Structure 1
Amino acid sequence: MKTVFRTTASDERSASAARLSPDFDLTDAQKHLVDRIVGFCETHTHDQQAVLVLEGDAGTGKSLVLNTAFSRIQEQARSRDGIYPLQETNNILLVNHPEMIKLYRNIAVNIPNLRKKDYERPTSFINNLHKSSGHADIVFIDEAHLLLTRSDPYNHFRQSNQLEEILRLARVVVMVFDPRQTLKFKGYWDKAHLRALLQDIPTETIRLTDQFRVQAHPDVMRWIRAFCDGQLLTLPAKQEYDFQIYDDAARMYEDIRECDHRCGLSRILATYDFPYTLNGNDHFVQTGDFRLRWDRNQPSHPLPWAERPDSIDEVGSVYTVQGFDLNYAGIILGPSVSYDRTTDRITLDPALYEDSAAFTGRGNLVDTDTAKRHVMANALFVILTRARKGLFLYAHDEALRARLHVLWNNRA
């Protein structure tokens, strides 16, 4: 995988918003891809149906390319010159992630051809168009792997599959899809599931491979992928990317605070292995001498969790950071992530995973135990791939902590 190191925002503290802005400088390859997406929409705008799928690992710039292309689409749609093929088209960008919606809408304020109303949650979009018997011309979907694959009355979705409903309501769909970021049974996706749904629709797939977030040599991403798959490799070689193993979570937190003071966007994250209930009370992540509250649910706050100054005093979960860039991330691997000395492998124990909501709504899943571990591995991959400049790790499990310590001492 080619690694591209690029920083165009002078203020590192605004990097989270800057990386999604249509004003962000693109590489030549990204510019070509934006042209290709816009061309796809222009070509198929009068067809009955067409789908373009963008695939790629976390950090390959999928959301930036998507939002830049969407801005170009909306510029045509709102033009009064009468010369654009997409003029007066009805288009929207959907994302099933409340923190990402905040970020997109905040960015739209400063882009002339975008409006806050251009960004919506899938359930609201589906329900509103069903109610009005409306239809959309072009629908962009970020994080399509978060779309629901079964009914969820609690969240006001009563059909069987959100993507299926969107396809009924749109002429052209452009979607970002990464099955390695599926986090719940009620939105359980894999490539086979997607292919089955799109088999009768003209579909084009583009895979992004350049790494823009993790500013490291390829051995870092290779180590992370292997770890999430249960394999322990030799630690990445010393390099500018700051990869560290800790025996003390409290010390790791001190170092993360120093990183945040120096360059901003540095936070503590944890696997979902510590009790958390949405009851208005504070809940804490505690391991060794470390004790810090989980992220507070503040849906009305204008800033996403990662950009709030007070979140340096909280522990983020996979749900508050998915889709976001951090500069440094200190990761607490909780009790569900342990080590098997016999096989020298990482093990994931669903019985110790506190995100019980992730495993509700099993639908037609046959091997639920394997699916649970798949969801847990995906959540682990998401939080391990947030950091641009450095990744710090601490393991709650004593055996895993000792094994990582050996790898650290043997590091080249």
Structure 2
Amino acid sequence: QNYLVVNHPEMMKLYKNSAGKFPYLKQKDFERPTTFINRMHKEGKKADILLIDEAHLLLTRPDNYNRFTQENQLEELLKLARVVVLVFDEKQTLKFKSYWSKSLLNTIAAKYSVQTYHLKQQFRMHAGADIQCWIEEFCQKKILPMPQKQLFDFQFFDDAQNLYETLKEKNALYGLSRLVATYDYPYTLDGQDHFITEGRFHLRWDRSKPQEKLPWAERPDTIDEVGSVYTVQGFDLNYVGVILGPSVLYNASTDGLRLDPARYEDSAAFAGRGGLLEPEQAKERIMLNALNVLLTRAVRGLYIYAHDPALRARLMALQAKAVLT
């Protein structure tokens, strides 16, 4: 009796679609955490092995929206399986209600026999170590010199429309190329289209279509939309264009980044701050985590445009200097 749970509706679509293609994978064995917890409690059963993907998305508090009434999803899942394997990345937590501190993890781990393995090699981005390092440092608010030119196509753009047109060309050639943005532009689940405008660039946010069988990243029509961190987390794409919105600013005094949580439009991310010792630091961590997710989706190439004129100028200057040398 083995199961996989993941607290991500788009990833669940992917798993269930994959399960339908192989005789030894059954769709019923893939569930969202709350559904699994409630069903196992009701049936009085216990799994043999439970694999938790994207475990950093598990809830750390009750949540009416997700119909989770217990205190902590990881603790509930540990009670319901003999062996639990969880894949966890502390740099991908995106909300207060799933905010994992090391002390919280250690408190839970102390109750069980735990083996920890640190995975240090990534297999998605076909990029050299210098590009990987640039992205990692950028997500720590540091700006390094432009990496060397290589097969992985890494570029900055001073015009969002040019970026989008380049991305569409890549999508026509290779497929699975999408545009995403930081959550800095108004978006409401009201059935209406909401748009991102940057100069002559004007394109709608992704439309919420929970009834679609294909996840957002795999639907051909989504080349005409801008995705968010919630539509691409966990997915591989060939080429990715990233719009850094108004919350991501240039800090001239440090030659790095400055974040403005007041301009971050994902209000749900900061809901429920109770119990957090340093909520302002947690806000910044969540924003940097979201940036990390967006910048690490691409296999073949990554394109970046910044809303902030000062940041845009700094990135373009780095690129121009690299071209000259």
TM range (shorter): over 0.9
Instruction: Return the letter of the residue paired with 2:208.
Output: N
Deviations 1:151-173 (A, max 9, x none): 10121001110000001111110
* 1:133, distance to aligned residue in structure 2 (A): 2.3
For 1:393, the equivalent position in structure 2 comes to 304
Q: Is the 8 A contact 1:182 1:188 kept in 2?
A: yes
Instruction: Return the letter of the residue paired with 1:396.
Output: H
2:9 to 98, 112, 128: 98
2:145 to 219, 234, 247: 234
Instruction: Return the letter of the residue paired with 1:145.
Output: H
Q: Is the 8 A contact 1:183 1:358 kept in 2?
A: yes
For 2:266, the equivalent position in structure 1 comes to 355
List aligned pairs for 1:239-278, cutoff 5 A: 239-278=150-189
CA distance in structure 2 between the partners assigned to 1:393 and 1:101 by the alignment: 29
* 1:219, distance to aligned residue in structure 2 (A): 0.7
1:324 to 208, 223, 235: 235
Q: Is the 8 A contact 1:246 1:393 kept in 2?
A: yes
Q: Is the partner of 1:298 in helix, strand or coil?
A: coil
CA distance in structure 2 between the partners assigned to 1:192 and 1:236 by the alignment: 36
* 1:363, distance to aligned residue in structure 2 (A): 2.7
Q: Is the 8 A contact 1:150 1:363 kept in 2?
A: no
* 1:189, distance to aligned residue in structure 2 (A): 1.2
List aligned pairs for 1:45-60, cutoff 5 A: none
Q: Is the 8 A contact 1:186 1:363 kept in 2?
A: no
For 2:222, the equivalent position in structure 1 comes to 311
Q: Is the partner of 1:237 in helix, strand or coil?
A: coil
For 1:344, the equivalent position in structure 2 comes to 255
* 1:405, distance to aligned residue in structure 2 (A): 1.1
For 2:81, the equivalent position in structure 1 comes to 170
Instruction: Return the letter of the residue paired with 2:73.
Output: Q
Q: Is the partner of 2:115 in helix, strand or coil?
A: strand
Which consecutive segments of 4 or more residues in structure 1 shift more than 3 A?
A: none
For 1:39, the equivalent position in structure 2 comes to none
CA distance in structure 1 between the partners assigned to 2:53 and 2:66 by the alignment: 19
Question: Which stretch of the first structure deviates more once superposed, 208-217 or 390-399?
Answer: 208-217
2:108 to 178, 197, 206: 197
CA distance in structure 2 between the partners assigned to 1:261 and 1:331 by the alignment: 18
Q: Is the partner of 1:229 in helix, strand or coil?
A: coil
* 1:204, distance to aligned residue in structure 2 (A): 0.7
Q: Is the partner of 2:117 in helix, strand or coil?
A: strand
CA-based RMSD of the aligned residues comes to 0.9
* 1:192, distance to aligned residue in structure 2 (A): 3.3
* 1:196, distance to aligned residue in structure 2 (A): 1.7
Q: Is the partner of 1:150 in helix, strand or coil?
A: coil
* Percent of pairs with identical residues: 59
Q: Is the partner of 1:205 in helix, strand or coil?
A: coil
* Structure 2 gaps, min length 5: none
What TM-score do the two structures reach when normalised by structure 1?
0.77
For 1:374, the equivalent position in structure 2 comes to 285
Q: Is the partner of 1:186 in helix, strand or coil?
A: helix
Count of aligned residue pairs for this structure pair = 323
Deviations 1:43-71 (A, max 9, x none): xxxxxxxxxxxxxxxxxxxxxxxxxxxxx
2:40 to 129, 132, 136: 129
Instruction: Return the letter of the residue paired with 1:275.
Output: P
CA distance in structure 1 between the partners assigned to 2:232 and 2:147 by the alignment: 24
* 1:284, distance to aligned residue in structure 2 (A): 0.8
Q: Is the 8 A contact 1:92 1:139 kept in 2?
A: yes
1:145 to 56, 65, 85: 56
Deviations 1:298-347 (A, max 9, x none): 11101010110100000010000000000000100000000011221201
What TM-score do the two structures reach when normalised by structure 2?
0.98
Residue 293 (str. 1) matches residue 204 (str. 2): yes
CA distance in structure 2 between the partners assigned to 1:267 and 1:279 by the alignment: 24
* 1:132, distance to aligned residue in structure 2 (A): 2.3
CA distance in structure 1 between the partners assigned to 2:37 and 2:111 by the alignment: 21
* 1:98, distance to aligned residue in structure 2 (A): 0.4
* 1:207, distance to aligned residue in structure 2 (A): 1.7
* Structure 1 gaps, min length 5: 1-89
